[in-house]
Structure 1
């Protein structure tokens, strides 16, 4: 199958969309998933959301995720975040791997991602595609199939305007709340993260 050519405009849109997550703080959570009781703030962790190529150099896009500790049973759990359970990169990038993998072999997907300015090694691409059992909705942008989540996020980024922060809740909604999708068959080990304690006295949800 003939490989799609990646228009520069699409590359710019994809990179700007992923970059809109940089530094975003995700700090909303419901009751304890174990016992249903009220949690308290615990700490904040930094996670790598994506790596893009910007001006011929790699740029890590990081997000912050607040964690909570149940006041009753002591379980520690994260806020809703833009990651599928047990994955190491942001859900829109995983969706893009899967969508491209519907028409390409794994190495070609990795190369195509690189043409879009996104760094994902071919072994990770293979695992995300092989272990996926979901149907990822997609649309066509510049004659290239992309996941609907990425399309929604790009529309949100353009609506908000360059250089302006986007409400994290709107980012999660555009991603369709990926961290709530328990039981997905992704098999990656969780990424090592850096903990940043909350400010003193922060013990509210």
Structure 2
């Protein structure tokens, strides 16, 4: 298979969107998601957000996420973060996997991501396309650039993060709330029964 051709502007948009999350610390949370009890600070975990290929060198993007201890049920929970529940990859990367899988075979998605400088192995891509979070992306059209700009579908989360990167002054700190808003609060609980009906254009789309 020939390497996919990606416009340089598309690669720049995607890389700027992912890079802006690097180094951001997430500390916001209100009550225990399990019981609604009060929380106390516990520690801060450094989590991998994405692997990028920059100037032929692999670079890992990290974020820091505060953990809390529930005073009522003794459970630990994370602050609001740019990750879907039970995933180890940034939500914007998963959004890209899902968006691309809606117009091509999932086996081709890693090659397109690699052409934009994003490293995701085929098995991980397949798992995340099948993950429950993909339903949230796939059947909520507001999360996708359905105008098909630049020849491929880009998630609105990526476009929103890229806009943050464009508007940021050199050296300016990115507020965690703006990142979460751009990513549409991916760590919030999702229930399929609350989803709207899927767009007709995607109903018969086969993922594999």
- C-alpha deviation, 1:170, in angstroms: 0.6
Partner of 1:69: 69
- C-alpha deviation, 1:57, in angstroms: 0.5
Q: Deviations over 1:102-158 (max 9, x none)?
A: 111122110000000000001111112233333253113423210111111111111
Aligned 1:55-204 pairs, distance under 5 A: 55-131=55-131, 132-134=134-136, 135-136=139-140, 137-139=143-145, 140-182=148-190
TM-score (norm 1): 0.83
Query: How many residue pairs were aligned?
Result: 183
Higher relative contact order (CA 8 A, sep 6+): 1
TM-score (norm 2): 0.82
Tell me, in whole angstroms, the C-alpha distance in 2 between the residues paired with 1:14 and 1:155: 11
* Unmatched segments (≥5 aa) in structure 2: 193-208
Once superposed, what is the RMSD of the aligned Cα atoms?
1.9
- C-alpha deviation, 1:161, in angstroms: 3.4
8 Å contact 1:67–1:76 — kept in the other structure? yes
Tell me, in whole angstroms, the C-alpha distance in 2 between the residues paired with 1:104 and 1:180: 28
- C-alpha deviation, 1:30, in angstroms: 1.2
Off by >4 Å, runs of 4+ in structure 1: none
Greater percentage in strand: 1
CA shift in 2, pair 1:34/1:128, >3 Å: closer
Tell me, in whole angstroms, the C-alpha distance in 2 between the residues paired with 1:143 and 1:161: 30
